[in-house]
Amino acid sequence: MRAQSRKKPGKTDPAETDSAHMDFEGAKAEITGIAHKSGALVWGVVAADAFEAAPEGRRPSDLLPRAESVLVVGGAQPRAGDWQSPNYQHMEVTTTSDRIHGLALRLARVVEDHYGYYAVCVPAGVDHGQQPFMSIAMAAELAGCGSKSLAGPVLHPEYGFMYFGAIVTTMPLPADGPLEIPACPAPECVEMYSSEGLTPCTRVCPIASGGCLSGRIEDGRIVERQYDVARCTTRVQNYWVPGFQKVLGETLRERDPEKQKMILYSSMFSRTLWSMTYANVSQGQCAECMRVCPLGRAHRTKQ
């Protein structure tokens, strides 16, 4: 039985929901069908109790008591042309991550109004400890939407880099599993590593020379990885809250009003304020490790 499959969102009385007779496979197909039609490239479900590796306080049931499942959707990548622009600032102000969050919000509404279960969209921002409420990346990996990469982001074997959204729900949807073969490292990267000890991402942003990344590959798999979070922040959030705090500190220390004016009206501070004004959720202001990633390259290659 496909419970209430013809009812539109907002029409369901939760009391009508009969979980004993609900066709959860059918419901999953219907929800993911909506996700697909709405622009998601990939989707998957992971059981809420599969997050053993997540720290206490950052598991699905910490966001929603009695959570049963986490539904993950992915897509909204930058366009192929975005990756080709010689102006790195272009992608700083054309972030598309909010689109996938909007889609996740829509699916949460479908789960609640159509099926009568609680659904919480995992916030894309951070909590007061500057950490994610729940790792959407971990959810995406456990749901088989991709695998974590040497560079960091979860990458899909065919599409490569994309944005993810996650919905925690009390609805017991059938779970998918992680990928059997991780997407990263790509065969080209394994070959490059075997002769040079580097991959495209660790070459463009090497931790040993002022960058963020390093790693070791053995038998085609990542076995070691280093990532400098704070340095990456200076690049990814270059003109955003961290940059604002740095410039503000310099301004407060400066006693000379003329010099203070130079700082406040500087290109960096002005650009930072513009960036904070544009942003509704978050902005990724560095994509150089992803720009050189071979995964998804076919989809980023046009005439």
Partner 1 sequence: MGFYFVDPKTYKKYKDRVLELSHAVQINFQEHLPAGNRQPALSDKQIAQRLGIEEHVVREIRCVAERDKYPIDEFEAAIHFKDKACRDYAAKGMSSVMSKYVKRAKKE
- Closest residue by Cα to residue 12 from 119, 96, 95: 119
Cβ neighbours for 14, distance < 8 A, ≥ 6 positions apart: 116
Q: To the nearest whole angstrom, how small is the minimum distance from the Cβ of residue 3 to partner 1?
A: 35
Quick check: 232 and 206 in contact, CB under 8 A?
Answer: no
49 binds partner 1 (CB under 8 A): no
**Span of 15-23, 97-105, 275-283, 292-300 interacting with partner 1 by CB under 8 A:** 292-300
- Distance separating alpha carbons of residues 152 and 293, to the nearest angstrom: 12
- Closest residue by Cα to residue 47 from 21, 26, 24: 24
Please tell me the count of residues contacting partner 1 according to CB under 8 A.
58
**Span of 11-19, 61-69, 155-163, 228-236 interacting with partner 1 by CB under 8 A:** 228-236
- Distance separating alpha carbons of residues 114 and 132, to the nearest angstrom: 28
155 binds partner 1 (CB under 8 A): no
| Binding-site string for partner 1 from residue 109 to residue 148, where x marks contact by CB under 8 A and - marks none | -------------------xxx-------x--x-----xx
What CA–CA distances, in Å, run from 227 to 4, 48, 190? Answer: 47, 28, 19
DSSP state of 174: P
Closer to partner 1 by CB, 5 or 130: give it: 130
Which residue of 134, 136, 151, 286 would you call a contact of partner 1, by CB under 8 A? 286
225 binds partner 1 (CB under 8 A): yes
Sign of CA dihedral 243, 244, 247, 253: negative
231 binds partner 1 (CB under 8 A): yes
The residues binding partner 1 (CB under 8 A) are 53, 55-57, 83-88, 128-130, 138, 141, 147-148, 182, 188, 191-192, 195, 200, 203-205, 207, 210-211, 222-231, 233-235, 238, 242-243, 245-247, 249-250, 268, 285-286, 288, 291-292, 294, 297
